[in-house]
Structures are given as structure tokens and as C-alpha cells.
Amino acid sequence: MKNAFNTIGLIGKYGAPEVADTVQTLAELLQQRQCDVRIEMSTEKTLSSRAFTSSSLDEIGRECDLTIIIGGDGTLLAVARTLVDYDIPILGINLGRLGFLVDISPSEMAVRVNEILDGQYEEEHRILLNAIVDHKNTPPSESDAFNDVVIHKWEVARMIETETYVNGHFLNTMRSDGLIISTPTGSTAYALSAGGPIIDPAMDAILIVPTCPHSMSYRPLVVDGNSTIEVFVKENMHSHAQVTCDGQINLGLVSGDRIKIRKKDQVVRIIHPKNHNHYEILRAKMHWGEHS
């Protein structure tokens, strides 16, 4: 039977040599299925065997028809931002706590991967955000975000003041610790901790959540996924703020800068085992229905 995927890239959690055994086992399994296996360079260096092709992320994106992540949700977030422009599907093997995105455990890896290669899988599409910071005196900086774009105070116990627009329409001026602009995927991350709602990951929507606003009248807001959100950091010589994407990438920010956030044209393609149930994972992660 022909494999559903033939050239497969493997990417382990960066700086985590403990994933080597799982990567090695998975690579051997894929070779037994006559797959062409490409292992990301830093991951390949952790292996005891040198029998596999070492590839850069760019080569994996250009040459593979599936990428398998071995790690946790954070690893997948970073890889998804890098590979989204290549339109390559991503599968996650979970080596840490149960993940929303990486949902196959090592104990069931062989069975699930064989099923997926046999064509028994589900594919879902998730949106990303693109954030561009227009600086007053320097060239713009930008990054993509799978979970969220967070505008927040930096190192000082002082509120920042922001002015927010949706599709060019003024929304509000707010003093707070910051503002979270989140995808539906990110609704179960920092936005949830700040009091935001949980949004079905298949929705085409963007979530705006204030963090510790000065007035309790400010509430989370969900807008259409095609909206353009602009946040202006108001002039204040005491302001210290920055923009952080997915908790992993920091963009410099000073008073007077403007942040423009919109949905990216490309989507992240996530592969799940057949009969994947997002709500079952949600119940387990949130400990719903457990008795103390």
C-alpha cells in the first residue's frame, strides 16, 4: 500500500537530548515503511546513529511532504511559524505534558504513525497572526504568532496606555498592564489566564483581551478573523513596553510606536490521528469533571 506521506522531516525539541531515543525509533519506523527521512540538523547531532539525512529547516520545508515534531506545544509553535510559508502539514509527538497541538504519546507512536501513513488521519487548519511594529525612528519589525501577540509592560511596576482600533474604527483608550491579541489556538494559553473565553480552534476569529485593566468595564472582545487591529502606545516618557509573539519572540517598542496585527494569509496544517477529539483533550487539560 502506498504511503500517504513519503518524504518526512523530523524535528526534536531544541536543546533536549532526551528526545534522541524517540527520534531514533521513529526514524527507523519510517525507514521500514520505505519513507525518505530527513532529520533537522541540531536534532540529528543528538543521535547515536548517523544513518539519516541531516537537513536544515528550509530544506525540510521545501523537500518534505510531512513534518513530525517530537517535543511539546512550544516546539510546534516555533516550527509552525518557520514552516507555514511552505504549506507543509505538521504532526506532533508529545514528550511532555498532554498538549493541545502535540497529541500522540510515545507509547502509541508506532500504531498512530502507521495509521497516518495508511491514510487514516484528520487534517485541520489553524490561523496565525502577523504583527508589524511601525517604529517612529527605526525600520519596522515584524513576526508571526500562532498563539498570541502580547503588548505588555517591561520590567517596571507601571501601567501602559494604549489606543486600539479595529478596521480603522476607534475601540478604546486603556490603561493596563497590557493587551493580548490571540488566535483561537491561543485562547487556551495566556488569554485564558487573563480571563478570556475559550474559542473553538476551527473558528476564524481574533480575540482581544486586556491584562489587569485600570477599569473593570473593559472586557475581552472577539472580532472577525479578517479584522485589522492597530494598537498605538501613547506618548509617555515613563512607558516601558514591548511586543512578544508566542512568548518566544520579542520586538522592541517605545512610546509612539504603532502595532498592526492581522491574520496571515497562510494557515498551519495540523495532522491528527483519526477520531481526534479536541474537547476530550480540553477536558483533560482543564481537569473538568474531576472529583476532589
Q: Which residues are catalytic?
A: 73
| Number of Cα atoms under 13 Å in the Cβ half of residue 251 | 25
Element (H, E) at 28: helix 20-32
Residue that has been written with the C-alpha cell 468595564 in this structure: 217
As a whole number of angstroms, the distance between CA 164 and CA 92 comes to: 36
Q: Is the dihedral of CA 143, 145, 150, 155 positive or negative?
A: negative
Residue that has been written with the C-alpha cell 536534532 in this structure: 43
Element (H, E) at 63: helix 57-63
Nearest to 145 by CA among 91, 185, 99: 185
